[in-house]
Structure 1
Amino acid sequence: MKAISSMATRHVLADLAAASAQAGLPELEIESVGGVDAAKRVAAGESYDLVFLASDALARLAADGQVDPATVRPLVLSQVAVAVPSGSTEPAIRPEGVAFTDADGVREALQAATRIGYSTGPSGTALVQMIDGWGLAGEVGDRLVQAHPGIPVAKLLADGEVDLGFQQLSELVGQPGVRILGVLPADCAIDTVFSSSVATTAADPAAAQAVLDFMGSDAAAQIKLAHSFGVPQ
């Protein structure tokens, strides 16, 4: 059984697929690429059994007939976090797990940063929109560095290409050369729900649906939490 996903969920999906196979369900081969590229490939008619993408991208594919709308379901909740290179003098992750007290702290950090790394996909788009909404585009716009599709912001931080980075927490946890300050505060949080669906090209839709049912079950919840994802309600 074949699937495609964005890079943001590749690790958690690998463990979910392994647990699903251990439960006696079909083995799943998952190709993880940039979310924008994944959506384009599905829209172009490439054949898959399952598709895992941000909810808005899946909604568009469902509307266009590439995935079965009746099978679309939330899979994981991802929060955007803030990080710096490990050698930075910024303090380590805050005890409460939040990078700054409020949006003012985030704005100040953006204004103080020399180079600001952000990702492709919905979280990166949301960050740029937030910066624009704060009226900071003119001030920090030329300092923004977008990671190429498939390249994590953590690598930009570790390689010294940026001194402040924004990406999903799950993509930053455990990466070398990175110190996580925490997730964005509630008044400027960027949360993305990644969803799952059965593709209309699925060879065995019922078997594909069984895999999704397992991934959405309580038995799979601990795997999601272990990868720093939330469980959508």
Structure 2
Amino acid sequence: MTKTLRILSGGAAQGLVGRLQAEFEKKHDCRIEGSFGAVGAMRDKLLAGTPCDLLILTQALVDELAAQGRAQTASVTPVGRVKTGVALKEKHAPVAIRTPEDLKALLQAAPEIYFPDPAKATAGIHFMKVLQALDLAGDPAKLKTYPNGATAMAALAQASEPEAVGCTQVTEILITPGVRLTGLLPAPHELVTLYTAAVATDAQEPQLARALVEELTAAGAAETRRRCGFSEASQA
């Protein structure tokens, strides 16, 4: 009987897991069942009893779950760092974002701004603070929030407004057809997040979980990680 490897992961790792999935499933005669979304929502699923073998969340959340006995401390392994970027519709000309003033001008002119959950998504929580710092959070009608970065970018791709703008982690921008990465959040508003994997304490397939972590973090997968928007965990 084919085994199932169940993953609860931040949306940032969806593209990376997807790149390795077919080969991994064939090699290990298994299937991967992944749930990808806002890291806070994934934590809540685990705590609510959703079956899980492997967690891929922010370092802070993995540490929290390990401290609670929900993740195997010895299995904790950094996957890589992910920056937060700004997206435009694919046909929009690139816009340089070098300064906070560049960012504010782009967002101010945008008729709609798409981003993930400002309560549970890593990028959404941060970006709402950026909007507040730029004094741009006062028009809720133009702020379009979604459960996670992937759904926010999919909505941006389908938006009727050609000047609409989005913000989420670059990994989720890169895997979404119809949108383009135009730049990163500039200092002092930048955000770089370390994503970490860990085997769930109640894992039914701990060996498969460890095997996937090895492949996700292998030296031979460095180029795949880079193409998916990850920088090495050792890099700031």
> TM-score band (shorter)?
0.7 to 0.9
* Contact kept in structure 1, 2:77 and 2:197, CA below 8 Å: yes
The reply on whether 1:136 has 2:133 as its aligned counterpart is no
The reply on whether 1:119 has 2:123 as its aligned counterpart is no
The reply on whether 1:49 has 2:56 as its aligned counterpart is no
* Contact kept in structure 2, 1:80 and 1:184, CA below 8 Å: yes
Aligned residue for 2:184? 183
Q: Match of 2:230, SS?
A: coil
Distance 1:130 1:80, change over 3 A: same
Letter in 2 for 1:92: P
Letter in 1 for 2:153: A
Displacement of 1:71 after TM fit?
1.8
Q: Match of 1:117, SS?
A: strand
Aligned residue for 1:156? 155
Aligned residue for 2:106? 109
* Contact kept in structure 2, 1:170 and 1:227, CA below 8 Å: yes
Output aligned runs, 1:1-233, within 5 Å.
Answer: 1-20=5-24, 27=30, 29-35=32-38, 36-88=40-92, 91-92=93-94, 99-120=96-117, 121-138=121-138, 140-149=139-148, 151-160=150-159, 163-173=164-174, 175-233=176-234
* Contact kept in structure 2, 1:123 and 1:191, CA below 8 Å: no
Q: Using the alignment, how far apart are the partners of 1:190 and 1:101 within structure 2?
A: 15
Displacement of 1:149 after TM fit?
4.3
Q: Using the alignment, how far apart are the partners of 2:143 and 2:18 within structure 1?
A: 31
* Contact kept in structure 1, 2:15 and 2:175, CA below 8 Å: no
* Contact kept in structure 2, 1:25 and 1:211, CA below 8 Å: no
CA displacement 1:60-101 (0-9 Å, x = unmatched): 22222211123222212222221222343xx326xxxxx411
Superposed CA RMSD in Å reads: 2.5
Compute the TM-score of the two structures, normalised by the length of structure 2: 0.81
Q: Using the alignment, how far apart are the partners of 1:16 and 1:67 within structure 2?
A: 23
Q: Match of 1:45, SS?
A: coil
Q: Match of 1:188, SS?
A: coil
Letter in 2 for 1:29: I
Compute the TM-score of the two structures, normalised by the length of structure 1: 0.82
Distance 1:72 1:9, change over 3 A: same
Q: Give the number of aligned pairs.
A: 224
Letter in 1 for 2:228: H
Q: Using the alignment, how far apart are the partners of 2:127 and 2:178 within structure 1?
A: 23
What is the percent sequence identity of the aligned residues? 25
Q: Using the alignment, how far apart are the partners of 2:223 and 2:183 within structure 1?
A: 21
Distance 1:68 1:166, change over 3 A: same
Letter in 1 for 2:87: A
Distance 1:133 1:208, change over 3 A: same
Displacement of 1:15 after TM fit?
2.3
